[in-house]
């Protein structure tokens, strides 16, 4: 039984089409402080220490669904479990694929760029006139990354690092605020 289950899961995981069918729009971000995608892949040795250290258990590992290059590399799906910006993964990463960043607002804003949140106004309760504001309250960088206007309508600002706590907490189904992954470092202006 055990062996069967094991082979079964692994085969299903290794089959790209099955994976694609299960998750029609697979959208993930890399852990905070990750290098740009190409650099990240060439540095990451797939050791699994980032996930093993993550206190929020948000870091998961890719199978074959994103190609052989990113097999066993870490990813975060914010809607399932979002990053709390504790920055422990960067501290343990031995390879420099995830940069070590101190847990303070300044360096995080400067260096972390997992993605950027975007509000779908046709889904957002506040933009539809029903005062909500949950995403603003979930944000660890309030008024820096996200601002609310009239009727608690969210406005995402330039500084958003893409941790995904807003997407995780959105009470709409499907979520009205999503992280658009950047897979690259913040371009300094």
Partner 1 sequence: MQKIIAKPSVIRHLNKLRWLVLATVFSILVLLPFLHLYQTYAAAHAYDLLYPHEKLIYDSMEWLTSPFVSDAEQDLDAIKGTTWSGSLFGLQLSDPLAVLSQISASLSIYWPFLLTALIPLAVTVVLGRVFCGWICPATFIYELNDTLAGWLRRAGVPLGDKEFDKRLKYLVLAVGLLVSMLLGSIVTAAIYPPAIIGRELYYAIAQGGFGVGAVFFILTILFDLLVARRGFCRYVCPGGALYSLLGRYRLLRIQRIVSKCNDCQKCNVVCEFGLDPLRDGFGQECNNCTACIAVCPTDALEFKIAVKDIPYQGPGHLGHDYRRAQKDEAES
Residues that bind partner 1 (CB under 8 A): 6-7, 9-11, 13-14, 38-39, 41-49, 51-57, 60-61, 63-64, 68-72, 88, 92, 94-96
By beta-carbon proximity to partner 1, the closer residue of 64 and 157 is: 64
Specify the DSSP element, H or E, that contains 21.
Answer: helix 16-22
By beta-carbon proximity to partner 1, the closer residue of 7 and 20 is: 7
100/34 Cα distance (integer angstroms): 9
By beta-carbon proximity to partner 1, the closer residue of 72 and 110 is: 72
- Give the number of other Cβ atoms within 10 Å of residue 76's Cβ: 29
Nearest distance from C-beta of residue 59 to partner 1, angstroms:
9
**The tokens 């303070």 sit on which residue?**
104
Say if residues 26 and 66 touch (Cβ distance below 8 Å): yes
Nearest distance from C-beta of residue 107 to partner 1, angstroms:
18
Nearest distance from C-beta of residue 47 to partner 1, angstroms:
4
Nearest distance from C-beta of residue 106 to partner 1, angstroms:
23
């Amino acid at each position: 039984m055990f062996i069967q289950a094991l082979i079964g899961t692994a085969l299903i995981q290794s089959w790209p089409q099955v994976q694609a069918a299960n998750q029609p729009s697979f959208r993930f971000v890399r852990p905070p402080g990750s290098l740009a995608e190409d650099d990240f892949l060439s540095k990451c040795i797939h050791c699994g220490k980032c996930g093993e250290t993550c206190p929020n258990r948000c870091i998961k590992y890719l199978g074959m669904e994103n190609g052989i290059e990113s097999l066993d590399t870490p990813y975060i799906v914010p809607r399932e479990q979002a990053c709390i910006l504790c920055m422990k993964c960067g501290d343990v990463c031995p390879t420099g694929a995830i940069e070590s960043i101190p847990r303070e607002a300044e360096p995080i804003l400067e260096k972390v760029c997992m993605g950027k949140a975007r509000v779908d106004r046709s889904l957002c309760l506040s933009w539809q006139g029903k005062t909500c504001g949950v995403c603003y309250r979930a944000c660890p960088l309030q008024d820096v990354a996200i601002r609310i206007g009239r009727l608690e309508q969210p406005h995402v600002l330039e500084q958003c690092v893409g941790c995904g706590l807003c997407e995780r907490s959105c009470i709409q189904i499907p979520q009205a605020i999503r992280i658009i992954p950047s897979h690259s470092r913040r371009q300094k202006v």
